[in-house]
Structure 1
């Protein structure tokens, strides 16, 4: 299989690239710049967007394209930061749409990254892929614009992968989330009642591969584990797995003071269920948070 990953140098992109290379697939990574070190794997190639804009025929015969590119939400949401978050997503999605339209032999599927933030936040509601979009803050507005732009990708099967919190040792939010517990000062954040939808890094990689290879899957797909937890449950599970106390509550006002508007990601959340993945027969390796955290601890 010939695959293309946009955003292949990021946390999820690196794991997906390794997964497909280990399966013997050809992987092409598109980015703004070429890496300084040349890959020793002949099945791995790097190109820039400028190269593809000039020569889209380089992607003829591609089986699947996965777009994970976008500036991290984990930065202070200044006016400049917000602009970078939005524009990085819009530009990349626009480039993908332009590239697909230029190909004579289009890939069978495009998997476009999105986020569960599109459902808005709630302490009581449960969301699945049929739930309506709710724009009530900056993250949800970003994701709505992201998905609207992705709808311009035509002529292929389109999967919108609505990503939750991805747990892994090599990137993402988890290393910082477990740090207070390693230091012995872990505890709930705010009320602790806010929901956290999560997925282990291995499962999201397998889910992307599953979506690529399951022709009946299209549209929104929640990339989350079947059992979301509250913030307090998350902390207690981290404390249990890492044999640390769960005792130091972090007040809401302190989080807002330190992180500003970015604190929304931590202080509010949503209970998301991956109905579409389960209905299509996807098997999670890590169904529960304790299983996922034990694996991460054993391999850290």
Structure 2
């Protein structure tokens, strides 16, 4: 099976490729990247690397896995950074869709799996959030993800699945990396009220879920890539501290977050009690359904 990957040097893309090759899955990977030298350093020799989408014909691939995009929390959300976040996702997705529509056909549709995030729901009132929910508040994360998904769904000759990803827990990068230091120093605690939910997923389930969608191309539409049991921020902080054998005594007030992060603080102050209804209904089994075992595994590394 031939797979084209964008975002192949990011946490999810890189881990998916490495895990697939290590497991002996019969996948042939081609990675589209802006930085060929970085990709060669980070990826196995058997991965083909290109820096221009014009170098490939989409009809030659079975799967297009679209994960590319500027990291959402790397920089403060200035107007320029917002444009960068949007265009790094929207433009490439549109280019992929245009090539799929030109080069593929309805008799042999490509499997198109495209990124998104639970931020598409915006801030939500209390209650479980499934893939059928609409945004409650039209904030930036919703605008970013909704347009990203709308573009992907314009692929005519493709079976399209959308990855609405939560916080990915991994020992090799991602959001948890940024949380660990204060907790290791015994300075961790809840954020703002602590009542906001933090939909999370272990990297092993993220990778296995993508493979599940590749192997079941009839599964289309949005999929919440979150564990079945989301937790509040207060519970997340308490569990992380326990996994590290550290106290959980130092809350971070909302006004401090906003002074430091500006509008980007919305990602931490608000949350979504999102559950993976569509994945579970399709028969996917999570390795890490609850938070404590997932954090214990990550922290052990």
Please give the alpha-carbon distance, in whole angstroms, between the structure 1 residues aligned to 2:188 and 2:59: 51
Trace 1:222-237 onto structure 2 (pairs within 5 A).
222-237=224-239
Trace 1:230-245 onto structure 2 (pairs within 5 A).
230-245=232-247
TM superposition shift of 1:108 = 3.1
TM superposition shift of 1:24 = 3.8
Matched, 1:117 2:119: yes
Higher deviation after alignment, 138-147 or 122-131: 122-131
Is the CA contact 2:124–2:135 (under 8 Å) kept in the aligned structure 1? no
Please give the alpha-carbon distance, in whole angstroms, between the structure 1 residues aligned to 2:275 and 2:39: 41
Please give the alpha-carbon distance, in whole angstroms, between the structure 2 residues aligned to 1:248 and 1:33: 40
Is the CA contact 2:9–2:39 (under 8 Å) kept in the aligned structure 1? no
In structure 2, the partner of 1:171 is: 173
TM superposition shift of 1:178 = 2.1
TM superposition shift of 1:34 = 1.7
Matched, 1:21 2:24: no
Please give the alpha-carbon distance, in whole angstroms, between the structure 1 residues aligned to 2:137 and 2:33: 30
Please give the alpha-carbon distance, in whole angstroms, between the structure 2 residues aligned to 1:122 and 1:36: 39
Q: TM-score, normalised by structure 2?
A: 0.93
Matched, 1:61 2:60: yes
Query: What SS is found at the alignment partner of 1:113?
Result: strand
In structure 1, the partner of 2:260 is: 258
Higher deviation after alignment, 29-38 or 284-293: 29-38
Query: What SS is found at the alignment partner of 2:224?
Result: strand
Matched, 1:47 2:50: yes
Is the CA contact 2:59–2:100 (under 8 Å) kept in the aligned structure 1? no
In structure 2, the partner of 1:272 is: 274
Is the CA contact 1:21–1:44 (under 8 Å) kept in the aligned structure 2? no
TM superposition shift of 1:41 = 4.7
Gapped runs of 5+ residues in structure 2? none
| Cα distance change, pair 38–263 in 1 and its aligned pair in 2 (3 A) | closer
Please give the alpha-carbon distance, in whole angstroms, between the structure 2 residues aligned to 1:134 and 1:97: 29
In structure 2, the partner of 1:144 is: 146
TM superposition shift of 1:36 = 5.5
Gapped runs of 5+ residues in structure 1? none
Is the CA contact 1:5–1:13 (under 8 Å) kept in the aligned structure 2? yes
Query: What SS is found at the alignment partner of 1:4?
Result: strand
| Cα distance change, pair 268–36 in 1 and its aligned pair in 2 (3 A) | closer
| Cα distance change, pair 169–61 in 1 and its aligned pair in 2 (3 A) | same
Higher deviation after alignment, 33-42 or 285-294: 33-42
In structure 1, the partner of 2:96 is: 96
TM superposition shift of 1:100 = 1.0
In structure 1, the partner of 2:218 is: 216
1:188-231 alpha-carbon deviations (Å, 9 max, x no partner): 11100001000001100100110111133100000000000000
Query: What SS is found at the alignment partner of 1:69?
Result: coil
